[in-house]
Structure 1
Amino acid sequence: MSITLTESQLIFGQVLQSSSTQYTIIEFIGEGAFGKVAKCQVNSTSKLVAVKILKDTFVQDVEEELSMLSKINLLDPDQFNLVKFHERFEYSSYTCLVFELLEMNLLQFLKTKLGSSMYVNQIRPIAKQMLVALQRLQSLGITHNDIKPDNVMLVNTEEDTLQVKLIDFGQAHPSSSTTHGKWLQPMGYRAPEVCLGLPFTEAIDMWGLGYMLANLYLNTNLFPVSCEYLMMKAMVEYLGMPSEDQLLFGMHTKRFFCQEADEFGLGWRLLTPEEYSDINRVKAKEWPTWRPHFFSLDDLLYIYEEEDAEEFKDRTEFIDFLKHLLTLDEEKRFSPTEALQHPFIRMSHLSQDPDSSDYLTTAQALMPTEASHSVTPVKDGEAHVAEEADEVPPTPASSQITHIETDVPKVPLSHVNDDNERVQEPCQDLGKELHLPATQSDSGICSFPEQFPNHCDEGLECVSSVNGPMVEDVPFPTPKRFKNIRRFFSRIQKLFFSCCCSSVQE
């Protein structure tokens, strides 16, 4: 018999008893297909934790998640920006997983704290910490499979640095046991090798990270997520066609592409919307009128006004960084170790001149101190775990959250308005923030801007990942930072005419 979790069965103040600990429910802070998340107090220490209470239909899937969490906990998760798992226990007919309590996910942070997209100097600390996390997972032989903003959580928003952790290992599995042709990752975040039905590796997490960082920069999805055909169309327009080998050996290639003869022989092309609808018996949706067609990721450089020479230089390196993560060929895609050496992460491109170092100082202030070990990725994750388990004892379940302090001046996390005055965001009640995947009400990266009330088809259904709703398409760029859309298209037009004139002269 299926169990439905209701507040009449699990209520505020109720005590959940494990073999060694009593947890008192303070409030329910999240709910999804898996069940509920409760904010609980450990009776013996008054420490606050998050308890994930699973529906019985998800209990059969918990064993592999526990296997992944046990590997992660062999070393201190705090050092590698991974959520800390405490214990599993059975209470009545429920299966409960106990985690450290974190404050809010990136989706909620954008909505409640920033209210707009992130600047690249705010994105960098998130990128670096996630690269350290993925580097550690790779060394353990684990693929996360579900990198997205609601699975990255801030430890404490009161800190001036952005300290984040990767959560939710419900879809994680050993990298050595990937299933060829299996559908993984939520729409939009799905790597090209997964879309085409090719063999895949942990490199799909690097694709997911790149897509997530692009979304933080845009405040919406880089690709449309309401239709897989539009997602593939955008992928081709921004990044180019997949290689001949990818198309030839992909199990799902013919869902999106076809071969046809031309003067050069057989060639591949993207299906038309009508062809896609006929072959897949799913109607391809129309391209949203508010969404521009970009020619490459370079176009993202110009969607915002240039605010400062150093900021623009930083933005340029960020776009180059994205190109290495959002590479169609997984063999050419950056690994976490390679990505950590990119100038955008190292800030080697920023001016060291004391007279013009304000931007560098601000960027440094947002970065957590070096607390993570450098990990050399290995293919045999099991062997690596066994070797290190003898050297470092497991993390005690009662260990506290450690906050990383910076050695440089603190800079408040706030945006600057048109008059260069700092704008403080209002404090929000953080007690009801989710610890795990967002509910349907949290499915958008930001709320629909009032300036664009009719620019989104509210009838479009968003495709969900297996363990939580996927973020929706919302109009972009966000009006707060996008000051002059005509300037962007003017640049494109000038570039086009410049190319035409060069061709004529030749």
Structure 2
Amino acid sequence: VTAGRNQRSRKMEVFELIEGHYLVGNQGIYKVQEFLGQGSFGKVAKCTKLGSPECYAIKIMKSSWAGEREFKMMKLIKDLDPDENHLIKMFEWFPFQNMTCIVYELLDVNLHDSLMNEMQMVHLCWIRVIAQHLLKALKALKSIGVAHCDIKLDNIMFAELDSVNVKLIDFGLAVETKKLSTEIEIQVTPFRAPEVILGLPLDESVDMWALGVVLASVYFGNYPFPSETEYETIRAMVLCTPEEYTETTGEQVEIKNHVINLDAMIHEHRDMFNDHDDDDHRAFIDLLKNMLEVNPKNRITPRQALEHDFITMKHLAGKSKAAYAGKAGEVMGKTPPSEGAQSSVSLCRSQVRINAEGSV
């Protein structure tokens, strides 16, 4: 008993890395500069490689099984262009003492922290960019038969400071679509697809649902469905208007806390920006409805979503509101920035808010 206790104690001591410690990898030696975060899996450290000015994010996991599983998933997607498809880039994997380390590119800040820090409303033009980038990621994953299974605000990161480029991270729960099973626990409650809650057959469309929740959360400032329990969540999904919800359950729905009627919410955003465009907001809501389709068989696919009017901006062509259409094109990189105008990048990273009563 004593020997076992001492062995466990030694393992815990080994894992207690501190700033300044070194990790010996296959492609070099990494020095821990600071810790960026931690969770049940372990820690993420910002590291430099000896002899190189580059910085990396190293995910240091206590479980060798979890580490090897994530590495295998990353190997499956290694042939996908990580920059073109907005996926985090992996450099190497190595065991270190009793830990498993995966070396990733260093990104800036996740969408959740950006929302919490900036306290501003996100303009629809920049939501379009985020949507397009992540739809490209889902399209790429679908092409190789992989489902991410954990899309949420925390797992979407801006590539660098003052950048509108986002990438999908954390493939710890990713799985080959053909191996998706109701016995596997996937997705956190606010982003959990109805078929996951109901224990129905699953495919990669669970990711499309989760992305729909992400975009709705960024747009509205709170989650689109109640998330205290799975039962409340599924009722809100099926009973899509406040009137239907109240008639069936006898409970009043507070729209300010939980968005159920997507159409009604357009009007709440009408006065948020001087250049509000009703047609653009309607196009966005239409895309959301297709992403948040309860029946996964009818849910929009990544390819279809990338061809949706909200992404292609076909509905803005020839509009009399040329200034709005020009701004939308500029943000999407389809037109050069106007001389003397505030850059799209700085606007994007400063126009984000969090609802004081909700929790994104």
Q: Is the 8 A contact 2:224 2:258 kept in 1?
A: no
- Is 1:146 matched up with 2:150? yes
Q: 3-state DSSP class of the match of 2:189? A: coil
CA 1:45–1:121: 2 relative to 1, 3 Å? same
CA 1:413–1:333: 2 relative to 1, 3 Å? same
Q: Is the 8 A contact 2:225 2:260 kept in 1?
A: no
2:291 to 287, 306, 325: 325
1:116 to 91, 114, 120: 120
2:321 to 331, 356, 361: 356
The aligned length equals 344
Find the aligned partners of 1:224 and 1:289 in 2 and give their Cα distance.
Answer: 10
- Is 1:63 matched up with 2:68? yes
Q: 3-state DSSP class of the match of 2:346? A: coil
Q: 3-state DSSP class of the match of 2:307? A: coil
Find the aligned partners of 2:332 and 2:287 in 1 and give their Cα distance.
Answer: 17
Question: Quick check: which has more Rg, 1 or 2?
Answer: 1
- Per-residue Cα deviation, 1:261-280 (whole angstroms, up to 9, x for no partner): xxxxxxxx97x69xxxxxxx
Q: CA deviation at 1:309?
A: 6.8
CA 1:290–1:302: 2 relative to 1, 3 Å? closer
- Per-residue Cα deviation, 1:215-260 (whole angstroms, up to 9, x for no partner): 00011111122222221222122279xxxxxxxxxxxxxxxxxxxx
Q: CA deviation at 1:365?
A: 2.2
Q: Is the 8 A contact 2:148 2:175 kept in 1?
A: yes
- Per-residue Cα deviation, 1:97-149 (whole angstroms, up to 9, x for no partner): 1000000011111222x313312111000100101110000001100001111
Find the aligned partners of 2:130 and 2:177 in 1 and give their Cα distance.
Answer: 24
Which residue type is aligned with residue 21 of structure 2? Q
Q: 3-state DSSP class of the match of 2:157? A: strand
Q: CA deviation at 1:183?
A: 3.7
- The residue that corresponds to 2:141 in the other structure is 137
Q: Is the 8 A contact 2:14 2:97 kept in 1?
A: no
CA 1:239–1:67: 2 relative to 1, 3 Å? farther
- Is 1:218 matched up with 2:220? yes
- The residue that corresponds to 1:474 in the other structure is 359
Q: Is the 8 A contact 1:14 1:24 kept in 2?
A: yes
Q: 3-state DSSP class of the match of 2:32? A: strand
Q: Is the 8 A contact 1:230 1:287 kept in 2?
A: no
1:338 to 287, 294, 304: 304
Q: CA deviation at 1:21?
A: 0.4
1:300 to 265, 274, 277: 265
Q: Is the 8 A contact 2:290 2:299 kept in 1?
A: yes
User: If the length of structure 2 is used for normalisation, what is the TM-score?
Assistant: 0.86
- The residue that corresponds to 2:4 in the other structure is none
User: If the length of structure 1 is used for normalisation, what is the TM-score?
Assistant: 0.62
Find the aligned partners of 2:99 and 2:350 in 1 and give their Cα distance.
Answer: 39
Which residue type is aligned with residue 74 of structure 1? D
CA 1:316–1:70: 2 relative to 1, 3 Å? same
- Per-residue Cα deviation, 1:425-475 (whole angstroms, up to 9, x for no partner): 59xxxxxxxxxxxxxxxxxx97673xx6xxxxxxxxxxxxxxxxxxxx539
Find the aligned partners of 1:17 and 1:71 in 2 and give their Cα distance.
Answer: 24
Q: CA deviation at 1:298?
A: 1.3
1:126 to 123, 126, 130: 130
2:346 to 413, 433, 439: 413
Q: CA deviation at 1:91?
A: 1.7
CA 1:239–1:167: 2 relative to 1, 3 Å? farther
CA 1:315–1:54: 2 relative to 1, 3 Å? same
* Percent identity between the two aligned chains: 35
Q: Is the 8 A contact 1:116 1:219 kept in 2?
A: no
Q: CA deviation at 1:325?
A: 0.5
Find the aligned partners of 1:2 and 1:319 in 2 and give their Cα distance.
Answer: 54
- The residue that corresponds to 2:277 in the other structure is 311
Higher RCO, Cα 8 Å, sep 6+: 1
Query: Structure 1: 5+ residue runs without aligned partners?
Result: 241-268, 274-285, 370-405, 416-423, 427-444, 453-472, 476-506
Q: CA deviation at 1:413?
A: 3.4
Find the aligned partners of 2:195 and 2:223 in 1 and give their Cα distance.
Answer: 19
- Per-residue Cα deviation, 1:198-227 (whole angstroms, up to 9, x for no partner): 101101111111111000001111112222
Find the aligned partners of 1:293 and 1:140 in 2 and give their Cα distance.
Answer: 35
Q: Is the 8 A contact 2:95 2:101 kept in 1?
A: yes
Find the aligned partners of 2:217 and 2:106 in 1 and give their Cα distance.
Answer: 25
CA 1:287–1:147: 2 relative to 1, 3 Å? farther
